[in-house]
Amino acid sequence: MVDEGEVRRIAGLADIQIPEDEMPAFTVQFNRILDYFEVLDTLGEAGAGERALHTVMRDDEPRPSLAREAVLANAPADEDGFIKAPRVM
Amino acid sequence: MEDPYHAYIRRLEPRSPGTGILAGRTVAIKDNISTAGVPTTCGSRILEGYVPPYDARAVELVRDAGGAINGKTNMDEFGMGTTTENSGFGPTLNPRDTTRVPGGSSGGSAAAVAAGLADLALGTDTGGSIRCPAAFCGIVGLKPTYGRVSRYGLVAYANSLETIGPMGRSVGDVSTLLRVIGQPDPRDTTMRGTPYAHDPVPDVAGRRVGVPDEFFGEGVDPRVAATVRAAIETLASLGAEVVPVSMPSMACALAAYYVTCTSEASSNLARYDGVRYGPAVETARPWHDAFTLVRSAHFGPEVRRRILLGTFALSSGYYGKYYGKAQTARANVSADYARLFREVDVLAGPTMPTVAFRLGELADPLSMYLADILTVPANLAGVPAISVPCGTVDGLPVGLQLTGRAFDDETVIDIAAAYEAEVAA
Amino acid sequence: MSGVVIGLEIHCQLDTRTKLFCPCSTDYRDDGPNTHVCPVCLGLPGTMPAVNRTAVEYALRVAKAFHCEVPVECEFSRKNYFYPDLPKGYQITQYDRPLALGGYIEIEGDGGLEKRVRLTRIHIEEDPGRLVHKGGGDRARYSLVDYNRSGVPLIEIVTDPDLSSPKEARRLIEHLRATLEYLDVYDPEKEGSLRVDANVSIAGHERVEIKNISSYRGVEKALTFEITRQRSLIRRGVAVERETRHFVEERGTTRASRTKVEEHDYRYFPEPDLPPLRVADRAAAIELPELPAARRERFRVQYGLSPNHARTLTGNPGLAEFFETVAGDDPVLAATWVADTLLGELNYRGRPVGSVGPARFSALLALLKSGRITDRSGVEVLRIVLDGDEHPDAVVERLGLAVTGDDTVSAAIAEVIAEFPQAVADYRAGRGNAINYLAGQVMKKTRGQADPRELGRRLADALAEDGPCT
Ligand SMILES: [Zn+2]
């Protein structure tokens, strides 16, 4: 059983906020889904290496990058060729 | 041309180069497949304004084959839904009954093809997103073998499960479009197998068709079950040997699917932070606050829910219980298929447990998830599966699902073609 | 430094031509921001990683050189966290199935004996972008991002907490750097190509992580400061707090991170777009070049060098090759001149060994060995050769530096004895130091061309002849 505090903590890890007025209903639904997942608990742990494929690697050959205008074209804000982002302090 | 069903997010003036096997044919592209110079939204407000500077490999191949791309189709946001109601741009209506959903998440592609707005369409299938709307709209949709069609340019929702695939009004059309897109691409290093270069051979004589009990279990509308059993009888009448089989791993398949897809989604969708594309982040705030604001404002409720479910399933202390166990369940599904495909050539059953829902009918998220029970096993194992129309219930289409061995999309196509030819006759 | 426990996490950029997962060139340092970026390393929706074979090959060389165990398969995982320099909201790295486990690096321990520092693991990962803050980091109202660095291949080498002092830490990193250069997988000239995080504690107390040490010289400084800080806390009875601190390069200090040590939950899981890599077979096929320790030993045996010279001259492959080119028939003389003189002159000029022509340097050694010039002139010639574009023979010719014939020196000795009677008298009075003064005057007159070893003897002879000692 996951309570609203735990939902808030998880939301914090995901940089998502669930509006407080939606929180009770959200938490109820969240728990119903988690209850459904309980069926998995009847199984053992998977061993590593279940994936049958192996990665095919590429050669170390440079190809042209995008033009800077194309890099910046989708960015909401840029300055002197850099893309603007939130502050980190 | 009008778009009364809201099949498209964006219509495009088709410009066909005029040569190649798709010459003169219109192709609609699901809006989670990148198109150079054309906005690609994934049905999400968080990608509003984003214009990819590159074409997905599949789009490149459609253009090269002379296909006339006539628009980007509506979808559940990032593919997260079974109805196309979860689109940030409003729902698509089912052309067969506009009070009903077209299925999802490739509902726009299915509606466009069903309504004749496009000859063919590209959809994507993570847990049934091609087959479900194909069944609900009465068209043909194929989820190819994982690794047979390049995913480069497909905006990731759950990388290990999903694939791009063809949708059309006939098995032949679907096969033709797979010939176009089933080509190698060094940028997708999960690709395997040989290019698809097959012409359908409508013959099922001598083939063994397995019918798993579990595909007709609880939750499957008896009228849908009866319609599909009748279709399987038709295959038998054409010389197929029908074999009842069992697939016990189905018990955990849906839970394994939702744990896996939400886990991968929680990570895939972390990049939407308003820095490099999409609605602007407020740069004057500390980064967590700023990202939280933009993400909470522009992701829809179902996307937020799945991100949180996946974040939870991967988080410290829960990983083993959820993600770890889901991989066990997934391995069990693959093992079941491997065992069954030593005995039979394909498995047959319904694509969806019911006919198309009414708009707004599936408000509860868990009920919506349960509707995917019959389509997710193929994604968990990476095997090919097709949905072909096989009749109606109350005037609404029902789909017959045929599932085959990995990298044997050819057999699935052949048997579907045999069924289609018989009912057309 | 008893009781000090240090472990390092060292990040090195691998010197590949392209990034780890996309074909963008890694040669971005002379170009403007966001000029070496493609849809993949910008994290555009729909892009997929494709692994650079050379990066894996390079990482395996390192693993093999440090005696690590390479598993049959390794796997990439996603490390999920939000930061403005991270274009995908996760970093592709390796978690529970790294490229290499175990192994060790041998260094000279503080006791002077060989010491084995065990390695925990080596893994490959992608570098994030680079953040720039205008008007000083702390007060900037927003960040600016340059994604040129995004996706450059890194190896992270994690040591066990086996180091006991900042000096040992420095030596480990120097040895590591030299080895990476020998393996030809790393270019130390590239700014920011080596970054270190250090865990340090005083036995019995909490451990502190120092992040952001961006040069190998900084490691010793940061650790020395941090150990002093922790010792003084303990002396004052204050508990050392378990925390992450940042190294402030300019001040040589560490400061507490302003963000609290959040409980990180990176939610690692296997990268679904990259199935496992088969690596053991590849590692087995790798043939390693001669590494620093082996070359050091060979230099001692083959050339008869002192342990110190052998160590210095094998410090990087360019230097070792230079030495071998100029060693000739007097390797000990060559070693002395390369290790003791040339390196100092190059350091002073901030120039690499590659900027000296071995042929010219050999010509200088020939002049010295034949006795045509004095050691002192040798240094002068070397400086002129380094600063200009002249052959040593030409310099000697132009400045008349060849050791002068007897006549000139004899004449100078006679003149000096005549001109400095007081010093002569002092010498004769038994104050032996006075002869050095007289020798200096002779050197002055001959502009340094007299052989100093000869000069003392000849001066003494002349003084003895000139008059009796009293
Ligand atoms: Zn790139």
> What DSSP string describes A38-67?
GGGGGS-PPPS------PPPB---------
Q: Which subunits have 3 or more CB–CB pairs within 8 Å of chain A?
A: B, C
Q: How far is the CA of C19 from the centre of ligand 1 (A)?
A: 7
Amino acid at the residue B79: G
Please give the pLDDT value at position A52: 66
User: CA dihedral defined by B136, B334, A37, B401, rounded to 10 degrees?
Assistant: 10
CATH assignment of the domain containing C441: 1.10.10.410
How many Å apart are CA B421 and CA B204, to the nearest integer? Answer: 11
Q: How far is the CA of C149 from the centre of ligand 1 (A)?
A: 9
Please say whether the beta carbons of B53 and C39 come within 8 A.
Answer: yes
Question: Both C361 and C428 in a single domain?
Answer: no
Please give the pLDDT value at position A46: 60
Amino acid at the residue B381: A
Please say whether the beta carbons of B292 and A17 come within 8 A.
Answer: yes
How would residue A54 be classed by pLDDT, with cut points 50, 70 and 90? confident
CB contacts of C82 in chain A (<8 Å) are 15
Which positions 113-152 of B are in contact with A (Cβ < 8 Å)? 147
Question: Both C168 and C184 in a single domain?
Answer: yes
In a domain, C52, yes or no: yes
Mean pLDDT of chain A: 92
Q: Is the pLDDT of residue C428 over 90?
A: no
CA distances from C20 to B152, C33, C281 (A): 17, 19, 21
Residue with tokens 């865990």: C199
The verdict on ipTM greater than 0.90 is: yes
In a domain, C322, yes or no: yes
Question: Both C244 and C324 in a single domain?
Answer: no
C→B contacts (Cβ < 8 Å), by residue, are 39, 42-51, 78, 80, 82-84, 87-90, 141-143, 145, 265, 267-269, 272-275
Our CA-based measurement puts residue B270 at a distance from the nearest CA of chain C, in whole angstroms, of 5
Residue contact B264–C272, C-beta within 8 A: yes
Q: How far is the CA of C375 from the centre of ligand 1 (A)?
A: 54
Q: Is B305 on the interface with A (CB under 8 A)?
A: yes
Our CA-based measurement puts residue B134 at a distance from the nearest CA of chain A, in whole angstroms, of 27
Question: Both C240 and C186 in a single domain?
Answer: yes
Helix (H) or strand (E) holding C245: strand C243-248
Question: Both C22 and C48 in a single domain?
Answer: yes
Single pTM value for the model: 0.91
Question: Both C369 and C449 in a single domain?
Answer: no
Please give the pLDDT value at position B167: 98
Question: Both C190 and C261 in a single domain?
Answer: yes
Question: Which tens digits make up the pLDDT trace of C311-355?
Answer: 999 988 999 999 999 999 899 999 999 999 999 999 999 888 888
Residue contact B151–C48, C-beta within 8 A: yes
Give the number of other Cβ atoms within 10 Å of residue C234's Cβ. 15
CB contacts of C133 in chain A (<8 Å) are 87
Which range of residues forms the domain containing residue C411? 406-463
DSSP-derived pairing of the beta strands C114-126 and C130-132:
unpaired
- Which residues of chain B fall short of a pLDDT of 70? 16-17
How would residue C468 be classed by pLDDT, with cut points 50, 70 and 90? very low
Query: Which one of B16, B34, B87, B129 is the catalytic residue?
Result: B129
In a domain, C278, yes or no: no
Which tokens go with B331?
């391995």
In a domain, C276, yes or no: no
In a domain, C256, yes or no: yes
Question: Both C213 and C325 in a single domain?
Answer: no
DSSP assignment of C102-163: --EEEEE-TTSSEEEEEEEEEEEEE---EEE-TT-TTT-SSEEEEGGGTT-EEEEEEE-S-B
Question: Both C123 and C172 in a single domain?
Answer: yes
How would residue C189 be classed by pLDDT, with cut points 50, 70 and 90? confident
Q: DSSP code of B186?
A: T
CA distances from C349 to B140, B306, C340, C353 (A): 74, 60, 15, 11
How many Å apart are CA C302 and CA A77, to the nearest integer? Answer: 63
For residue C73, give the nearest of A49, A57, A89 by CB distance: A49
Question: Both C238 and C337 in a single domain?
Answer: no
Question: Both C214 and C74 in a single domain?
Answer: yes
Our CA-based measurement puts residue C132 at a distance from the nearest CA of chain B, in whole angstroms, of 14
Q: How far is the CA of C16 from the centre of ligand 1 (A)?
A: 13
Mean pLDDT of C218-229: 94
Which tokens go with C309?
């010279």
Clarify whether B129 is annotated catalytic.
yes
Which tokens go with A81?
């060729």
- Among C64, C167, C181, C183, CA closest to C108: C167
Question: Which tens digits make up the pLDDT trace of C22-74?
Answer: 999 999 999 999 999 999 999 999 999 999 999 999 999 999 999 999 999 99
The residue among C383, C399, C415 that closes a domain is: C399
How many Å apart are CA C437 and CA C440, to the nearest integer? Answer: 5
Which positions 1-20 of C are in contact with A (Cβ < 8 Å)? 16-18
How would residue A86 be classed by pLDDT, with cut points 50, 70 and 90? very high
Q: How far is the CA of C142 from the centre of ligand 1 (A)?
A: 25
Question: Both C317 and C437 in a single domain?
Answer: no
Question: Which tens digits make up the pLDDT trace of A24-45?
Answer: 999 999 999 999 999 999 887 7
In a domain, C153, yes or no: yes
Mean pLDDT of C263-269: 88
Please give the pLDDT value at position B17: 65
DSSP-derived pairing of the beta strands A82-85 and C143-146:
antiparallel
Q: Which residue of A has its CA nearest to C28?
A: A65
How would residue C432 be classed by pLDDT, with cut points 50, 70 and 90? confident
CB contacts of C84 in chain B (<8 Å) are 275, 287
Q: Which residue of C has its CA nearest to A73?
A: C34
Which positions 270-289 of B are in contact with A (Cβ < 8 Å)? 270, 273-289
Please give the pLDDT value at position C469: 43
In a domain, C280, yes or no: no
- Among B270, B271, B252, CA closest to B260: B252
Task: Work out how many domains chain C is built from and give that number.
Answer: 3
Give the number of other Cβ atoms within 10 Å of residue B262's Cβ. 27
Establish, for the pair of chains A and B, how many residue pairs have beta carbons separated by less than 8 Å.
157
Q: Is B159 on the interface with C (CB under 8 A)?
A: yes
In a domain, C382, yes or no: yes
Q: Is B196 on the interface with A (CB under 8 A)?
A: no
Q: Is the pLDDT of residue C174 over 80?
A: yes
How would residue C412 be classed by pLDDT, with cut points 50, 70 and 90? confident
Clarify whether B109 is annotated catalytic.
no
Please give the pLDDT value at position B398: 98
Is there a cis peptide before residue C214, judged by omega within 30 degrees of 0? Answer: no
The residue among C350, C370, C399 that closes a domain is: C399
The residue among C384, C399, C414 that closes a domain is: C399
Query: Which one of B30, B87, B106, B263 is the catalytic residue?
Result: B30
